[in-house]
Amino acid sequence: MSYRWRIERLIAWSLFTLAGCLPWPVANADADAMDTLQVHGFLSQAWLVSDDNDFFGPSSENDGSFQYTEIGLNVSLRPLRDVLVSAQVLSRRAGDDDASPRLDHGIVDYQAFSNARRRLGIQLGRFKNPFGFYNQTRDVAFTRPSILLPQSIYFERTRSLALAADGVSVYDEEYLADGTLRLQIGIGDPQAGDDLDETLGLGEQAGSFDGRTSYIGQILYEDGEGHWTAALSAADVTARYQDSAGPIGDGRFHFQPWILSWQYNQEHWSLTTEFALRRIALDDFTNPRLNDVSLGQSWYVQYTRRFADEWQWLLRYDSLANDRNDRDGSQYEADGLGPAYSRYARDVTTGLQWRIHPRVLLAAEWHNIEGTGWLPVADAEDTEKYWNLLLFQASFRF
Amino acid sequence: MIWRRPQRRNDAIASSIPSGTSRISGCPGSRRRRFHPGNLAPPPWTRHLTRHFVGCTALLLLACQGPAQGAEHDVVVIANQGVGARVISHDMARAIFAMRLRTWPNGQAINVFVLPDDDPVHERFAKRLLNVYPHQLRLAWDRVVFSGTGQAPHPVDDEREMLERVASTPGGVGYLERDQLEDSVHVISLAN
Per-residue pLDDT tens over the stretch A48-104: 999 999 999 899 998 999 999 999 999 999 998 889 999 999 999 998 767 889 999
Chain B residues whose CB is inside 8 A of the A361 CB are none
pLDDT at A200: 67
Is the CB of residue A53 less than 8 Å from the CB of residue A383?
yes
Please, which pLDDT band fits residue A9 given cuts at 50, 70 and 90?
A: low
Nearest to residue A161, comparing CAs of A206, A193, A202, A120?
A193
For A5-14, A61-70, B78-87, B127-136, which range has the lowest pLDDT when averaged over its residues?
A5-14
**Are A107 and B145 within 8 A, CB to CB?**
no
Residue B22 to chain A, least CA–CA distance (Å): 24
pLDDT at A380: 64
A73-103 in b/e form (b: 16+ CB < 10 A) is: bbbbbbebbbbbbbbbbbbbbbbbeeeeeee
B132-150 in b/e form (b: 16+ CB < 10 A) is: bbbbbbbbbbbbbbbbbbb
A155-191 in b/e form (b: 16+ CB < 10 A) is: bbbbbbbbbbbbbbbbbebebeeebbebebbbbbbbb
**Are B143 and A81 within 8 A, CB to CB?**
no
The type of residue at B121 is V
Structural domain tally of chain A?
1
pLDDT tens digits, residue range A340-352?
Answer: 999 999 999 999 9
Mutate to test the interface with A, among B89, B146, B173 (most CBs of A within 10 A): B146
Count, residues in chain A: 398
Considering A22-26, A223-227, B26-30, B117-121, the range whose residues carry the highest mean pLDDT is B117-121
Give the residue-averaged pLDDT of B33-37: 39
B145 touches chain A (CB under 8 A): yes
pLDDT at A301: 98
Give the residue-averaged pLDDT of B30-58: 45
Write the CA distances from B74 to A9, A104, A296, B155, integer angstroms: 54, 43, 52, 21
**Are A105 and B192 within 8 A, CB to CB?**
no
Q: Which domain holds residue A387?
A: 2-397
pLDDT at A224: 79
Residue B27 to chain A, least CA–CA distance (Å): 23
**Are B170 and A30 within 8 A, CB to CB?**
yes
Residue A331 to chain B, least CA–CA distance (Å): 41
3-state secondary structure of B147: helix
Nearest to residue A324, comparing CAs of A278, A366, A284?
A278
Handedness of CA A133, A110, A92, A240 (dihedral sign): positive
Residue B183 to chain A, least CA–CA distance (Å): 21
B11 touches chain A (CB under 8 A): no
DSSP A326-347: GTTSHHHHHTTSS-GGGGEEEE
Is the CB of residue A73 less than 8 Å from the CB of residue A88?
yes
Domains located in chain B, CATH noted: 28-64 (no CATH), 74-191 (3.40.190.10)
pLDDT at B46 over 50: no
Q: How far is CA A179 from the centre of its chain?
A: 26
Chain B residues whose CB is inside 8 A of the A137 CB are 142-143, 146-147
Residue A87 to chain B, least CA–CA distance (Å): 7
Q: Mean pLDDT in chain A?
A: 87
Nearest to residue A297, comparing CAs of A244, A269, A341, A259?
A259
pLDDT at B58 over 60: no
pLDDT at A155: 85
Count, residues in chain B: 192
pLDDT at B7: 41
Closest CB to B133: pick one of A105, A116, A267. A267
- Strand boundaries in chain B, DSSP class E: 75-80, 87-89, 111-114, 154-155, 172-177, 185-191
Distance CA B134, CA B151 (A): 17
pLDDT at A50: 94
Please, which pLDDT band fits residue A253 given cuts at 50, 70 and 90?
A: confident
Please, which pLDDT band fits residue A358 given cuts at 50, 70 and 90?
A: confident
CATH of the domain at A13: 2.40.160.10
pLDDT at B192: 66
Please, which pLDDT band fits residue B29 given cuts at 50, 70 and 90?
A: very low
**Are A84 and B145 within 8 A, CB to CB?**
no
In B, residues 81-110, which contact A (CB 8 Å cutoff)?
A: 88-92, 94-95, 100-103, 105, 107-109
Is the CB of residue A145 less than 8 Å from the CB of residue A304?
yes
Alpha carbon distance, N-terminus to C-terminus of chain B: 26
Distance CA A22, CA A114 (A): 12
